Amino acid sequence: MYQLLSHVTDNMSLWVLATLFLALLLVWKRRTKGLPLPPGPPPRFFVGNVPDLPKKFGYRGYDALCKQYGDIVHLDAFGIPLIILGTQQVAVDLLERRSATYSDRRFSVMADLTGFSWFFAVNPYGTMWRKARRAFSETMNPNAVPQYRLVADRAVRRYLLRVLEEPDNYRSNALYMYNATIIAVAYGLDVQAAKSENDKYVKIAEQTMKSFHEAFTLGASHVERFPVLRHFPSWFPLAGFKRKLPEWSADARRLRDEPWDAAMTALNEGSATSSMASILTGDANTEEEINIAKGACASAYAAGADTMFATFAMFMAAMVLFPETQQRAQAELDSVIGPDRLPDIRDKEQLPYLSALLVEVFRWKPVVPTGVAHLAMEEDEYRGYRIPRGALMIPNPWAYSRDPAVYPDPEEFRPERFLKDGKLDLGDRDPAASVFGYGRRICPGRYFAEEMLFTTIASLLHCFDMSGPRDEDGNPVKFELKFLDVSPVLPEEFQCHIRPRSAGAESLIRTVCYESELAAMT
């Protein structure tokens, strides 16, 4: 009898468990409406689709997957769902129009370990992120940007003089210009003045960004997938990144604290110029608010200098490969500006071809080709597919810029595609709709970046002719553009033959640079 009752009890337990399982399955089916995940390559045991992830130039690999499986593709990376957004329409539908659902970021273990959590772009959506974003936007919105124009103009004029005197170093000097400009805008520190002690802050910033890219490309690849590695010793397999943590952490603290401390000293001494720091410190009364202000200023460098420099490098490549666009832009500058002054941002409306040329640089070679990954904050449905909560949403601006239905002959550099009846006409084809991000994660520094880049390329084209590599006899040689697999994407270094367009252009550079320095000292 006891055995019989035991058998019945065991069977009843199994039935109860089976019933509970079926009930949970029905609830899950009802919640997800029984929808399938987006299509994609079949996953392998344990590793999922990790073998399918592109090893180099990921944007090309993602585009190939979308061409094979459709506009929206699902991949599994050790249990983490990745959703590749293959077209601009899909990216806008989800990241822009449903930004309340897709504005999160995965918690970054590496940002927590290194102290780079002050960089709000890597942080999850929440109260602290909103405060940091608000502080940054307060100092970089369209109404705030004009106050930095004198700083940007002076930096460009100094750069023109360096190009005149050291044309072979055009690339390294451009990187220095953008680094120095961001330091000046963020902290009010003039690092380009002769014998300036502030030059050390550019070196701090350059070293910190080197550490940032190392940490978030080499180190993060394992610990973000397996957070438990943070608790293992550095000799443990896949935990070798821990040997670099002290160096990365020290660099993160230096960029956040040292330029800020210098800016506060200048403010107290009454020698500071208007900057992000001078604006934000007036509203910072608590330790949390001060740390948010520090992070916002440091984020300006982390988010701005590298991408502006990479975009400028793409512009130089385009001028070498497509000389006819250079000539047409110069003709417009000659007609509107004349020989006696340099162009500036106030001339932009009268320079539609040059404006279109900058837009085409953004489109032709997006320097952040896979954009910034978003995270689904809740379960969602799109086009009959289920988007799981916690899915990483990966846009692909590079692929969108190569859509022949939107941009005919996409590999050609053609500014006129953004002109109509002699005026700039972006319509619904503005590359900025993808290259600067989406929704609540759109780059808040885009207005300053666009102004700075426009001033740079307008001034350079106005004063110099640029052409490609030459042999020992001075004859042009075939030039093939190649790219580094880094973020932001950079063209490999190439020789660029730069010379003043005329004796008048050389005289203009020396005159305006001297006047600019004289004005800075008064």
Which residue from 103, 99, 105 is spatially nearest to 123, judged by alpha carbons? 105
For the ranges 326-330, 334-338, 416-420, 436-440, the lowest mean pLDDT is seen at: 436-440
Judge contact between 407 and 429, C-beta under 8 A.
yes
Residue 104 has pLDDT above 50, yes or no: yes
Predicted confidence at residue 99, as pLDDT, reads 93
Residue 79 has pLDDT above 70, yes or no: yes
Predicted confidence at residue 193, as pLDDT, reads 58
User: Looking at residues 423-438, what average pLDDT do you find?
Assistant: 89
Identify the bridge partners of residue 466 per DSSP, sorted by sequence position: 498
| Domain residue extents for the chain | 35-521
Give residue-wise pLDDT tens across range 253-289.
999 999 999 999 988 888 778 899 999 988 777 888 8
Give residue-wise pLDDT tens across range 357-386.
999 999 999 999 998 899 999 999 999 999
Predicted confidence at residue 219, as pLDDT, reads 58
Using pLDDT thresholds of 50, 70 and 90, give the confidence band for residue 82. very high
State how far the Cα of 103 lies from the Cα of 90, in Å rounded to an integer: 15
Which class for 180: exposed (0-12), middle (13-18), buried (19 or more C-beta within 10 A)?
Answer: buried
Using pLDDT thresholds of 50, 70 and 90, give the confidence band for residue 140. very high
Using pLDDT thresholds of 50, 70 and 90, give the confidence band for residue 520. low
Query: Which carries the bigger pLDDT value, residue 27 or residue 376?
Result: 376
Pairing of the two strands 392-394 and 80-85: parallel
Residue-averaged pLDDT of the chain: 88
The H or E element containing residue 392 is strand 392-394
Residue recorded with tokens 């580094």: 484
Predicted confidence at residue 340, as pLDDT, reads 93
State how far the Cα of 188 lies from the Cα of 170, in Å rounded to an integer: 25
Give residue-wise pLDDT tens across range 197-225.
678 888 888 889 889 888 887 556 678 87
Predicted confidence at residue 123, as pLDDT, reads 86
State how far the Cα of 55 lies from the Cα of 230, in Å rounded to an integer: 24
The residue type found at 297 is: C
Is there a binding annotation on residue 443? yes
Give residue-wise pLDDT tens across range 468-499.
888 877 777 888 889 988 888 999 998 899 99
Residues of the chain with pLDDT > 90, as a percent, come to: 59
Residue 29 has pLDDT above 60, yes or no: no
In CATH, the number for domain 35-521 is 1.10.630.10
pTM assigned to the model = 0.89
Predicted confidence at residue 43, as pLDDT, reads 94
State how far the Cα of 481 lies from the Cα of 471, in Å rounded to an integer: 17
